[in-house]
Structure formats: structure tokens, C-alpha cells
């Protein structure tokens, strides 16, 4: 199968590319390298350095490659940046996605896999863990823009027959991690502790997140690729991808401190606007319908991440 992965030089996207290639698929990567890195690129993937906002250039790729599947990871991923510049966030995350959806319909793409957010879309939870039916009340433009595309996907399914799957990620961490995403704290702590620099916690550190290892997320994309079920409602193709467990930032700090041999205490700073205090995801739906489960424990995943930063 020929799969076009946007953001395939980025943190999560590059692991997804590796998983698809490992599974025997042909992969085309589209990435503008604004946060992605050439060294993340799988040498077996065909690479186009193009921004998803550039529709004319994107269409040339669709015309040339005729992908069977689009797996869409390219995005503005920082909650903090989205609060500072919501217009840019919308331009990348909404307009860029609409370009891809339109071209997917025009060039007969059989499935569209969309990387959404479970960490930022639900807002402050009414109940925990958040399942896919939980009300959507994002506290930052990032969560709004990512969720908006879910509506466009459903509308294009109903009106034009677009087949799609939405994966709402928890806080993804692991090797190659960018410090700017929702789980950026793992990358930041790892880097700063290995360099012997002070590490900052924004807020009291008791805020909880659902930390899921990037290799497990890549497996979820492979499961979505093979998933076939009739879409009868907008909730049908939406799946949380996480561990179902909340872990506080103080615990993350302590574990990384132990794995790096860091000796200082954290420096606490005021909380940042737009960030949810406590959220973790119910993942029963993806377990039942795609037979996907997270396999890497938090301790094992953090050890792998620290070792990657140590050698890179």
C-alpha cells in the first residue's frame, strides 16, 4: 500500500513512517522541516519538503504519487504557541488539513488517518478517564483547531464518502521527542538534567497527564490502517490512544532524575495559560475494536527516552 505521511520527519510521524515501512508499505513523507528533522527520515521513504499550506505544491505530489492512504501528522503542536498566536495555529492545523482532505477526495484516497489530541480537546474533565463521548471543551486554540478538523472529516464522509479514522493522542513521549508538544516536559527534563541544568515545573507539579510511549502510538496507526467499520455517527471513527492512567509531573521529574543521576530539585514557576490541570484517557474502545493495547510501561519508556537523549 502507498501511504503519504505528513509530518513524517517529526517526532511521532517519523516513528509511524518506520512502522509502516517495517510492515511492508511504501511511504511518501511530506514535511516542511519547521520542527521535523532530516535525520529522523527513514531512508526508504520518498521525501518532499513541502508545507501543507502550499496547496499547489501538495497537489503536484498527489498527482505524481497517487497515495492509497493519507496519515496526517503535520501540525502546529504547541499549546503555549497556540495561545500566543491562534491565527497561525488555525492556518496550519485547519487550513493545512483542509488542503489535504480536498486533495484526498480529488485523487481517490481510500483512507485518511488523522492525528488529533486527547490531551487538549476535552478541556478540564467532567469525569475521568475521558472516553470518546466526553464533552469537548478545549482550553487552548490548539485543542480547538485539532477538534475542528474532526468535524470537517465527518462532513466530508457524509457528503463525499471520505473514509477516515481519528486518533486522539494522550501525551506522547519517547526518542526523537520535540520539547514543544503536549508531552514536551519529558524531552525538556531529559535534556536539561543530562546537561546538569535546572529543570522547571510550571504549577505545583501535581497536574496529571496520560503519558503514552511513541512506539505504542505507531502501533495504533498501523491498527488504524487495517481497521474497517461502517461510519454511522461522528463518534464511530474516533479513538483515544493512551494508557488510561494519570501520572503527575512531579513523578515524571523524579523518575527522570533517577535515570539521569541528576542531583538538583525542580524549580517551580507559575502555571501557563491554556493548559489542562488533570486529564487521562479511557482506551477501552481502541482495545476492543482494534485489538490495540499500550505495551511499554512508563518506567521502561522513560529509560529508553533518556538513553536516546544521552546518545543524541
Label each residue of 136-168 as H, E or C.
Answer: CCCCCHHHHHHHHHHHHHHHHHHHHCCCEEEEE
Annotated catalytic residue, options 142, 154, 173, 227: 142
Percent of all residues in the chain with a pLDDT value above 70, rounded to a whole number = 99
- Residue 258 pLDDT: 98
- Residue 181 pLDDT: 61
Residues 44 and 180 in one domain: no
Residues 304 and 270 in one domain: yes
**Containing domain of residue 97, as a range?**
2-172+211-241
Percent of all residues in the chain with a pLDDT value above 90, rounded to a whole number = 94
Residues 119 and 236 in one domain: yes
Residues 216 and 302 in one domain: no
Please tell me the total count of domains within the chain: 2
Residues 111 and 205 in one domain: no
Residue 118 maps to which CATH number?
A: 3.40.50.720
Q: What pTM, to 2 d.p., does this model score? A: 0.95
Grid cell of 132 as nine digits? 470518546
Q: Give the separation between CA 211 and CA 296, rounded to whole angstroms.
A: 11
- For residue 179, is pLDDT > 90? no
Dihedral angle of Cα 165, 212, 306, 256, to the nearest 10 degrees: 150
- Residue 212 pLDDT: 98
- For residue 62, is pLDDT > 60? yes
Residues with Cβ within 8 Å of residue 303, at least 6 apart in sequence: 259
pLDDT tens readout for residues 236-264: 999 999 999 999 999 999 999 999 999 99
Find the mean pLDDT for residues 197-209. Answer: 95
pLDDT tens readout for residues 99-114: 999 999 999 999 999 9
- For residue 276, is pLDDT > 90? no
Annotated catalytic residue 114: no
Amino acid at each position: 500500500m502507498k501511504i503519504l505521511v505528513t509530518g513524517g520527519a517529526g517526532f511521532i510521524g517519523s516513528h509511524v513512517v518506520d512502522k509502516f515501512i517495517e510492515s511492508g508499505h511504501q511511504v511518501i513523507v511530506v514535511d516542511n522541516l519547521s520542527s521535523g528533522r532530516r535525520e529522523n527520515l527513514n531512508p526508504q521513504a520518498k521525501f518532499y519538503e513541502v508545507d501543507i499550506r502550499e496547496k499547489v505544491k501538495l497537489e503536484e505530489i498527489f498527482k505524481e504519487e497517487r497515495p492509497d492512504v493519507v496519515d496526517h501528522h503535520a501540525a502546529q503542536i504547541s499549546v503555549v504557541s497556540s495561545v500566543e498566536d491562534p491565527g497561525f495555529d488555525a492556518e496550519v492545523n485547519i487550513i493545512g488539513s483542509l488542503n489535504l482532505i480536498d486533495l484526498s477526495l480529488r485523487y481517490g484516497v481510500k483512507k485518511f488517518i488523522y492525528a488529533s489530541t486527547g490531551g487538549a480537546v476535552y478541556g478540564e474533565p467532567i469525569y475521568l478517564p475521558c472516553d470518546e463521548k466526553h464533552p469537548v471543551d478545549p482550553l487552548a486554540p490548539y485543542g480547538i483547531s485539532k477538534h475542528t478538523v474532526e468535524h470537517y472529516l465527518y462532513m466530508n464522509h457524509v457528503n463525499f464518502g471520505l473514509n477516515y479514522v481519528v486518533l486522539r493522542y494522550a501525551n506522547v513521549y519517547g526518542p526523537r521527542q520535540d520539547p514543544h508538544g503536549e508531552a514536551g516536559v519529558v524531552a525538556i527534563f531529559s535534556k536539561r538534567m543530562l546537561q546538569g541544568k535546572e529543570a522547571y515545573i510550571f504549577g505545583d507539579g501535581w497536574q496529571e497527564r496520560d503519558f503514552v510511549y511513541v512506539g505504542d502510538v505507531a502501533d495504533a496507526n498501523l491498527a488504524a490502517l487495517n481497521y474497517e467499520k461502517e461510519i454511522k455517527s461522528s463518534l464511530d471513527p474516533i479513538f483515544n490512544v493512551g494508557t488510561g492512567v494519570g501520572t503527575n509531573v512531579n513523578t515524571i521529574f523524579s523518575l527522570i532524575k533517577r535515570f539521569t543521576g541528576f542531583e538538583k530539585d525542580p524549580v517551580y514557576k507559575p502555571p501557563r495559560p491554556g493548559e489542562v490541570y488533570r486529564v487521562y484517557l479511557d482506551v477501552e474502545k481502541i482495545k476492543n475494536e482494534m485489538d490495540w493495547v499500550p505495551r511499554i510501561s512508563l518506567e521502561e519508556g522513560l529509560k529508553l527516552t533518556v538513553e536516546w537523549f544521552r546518545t543524541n
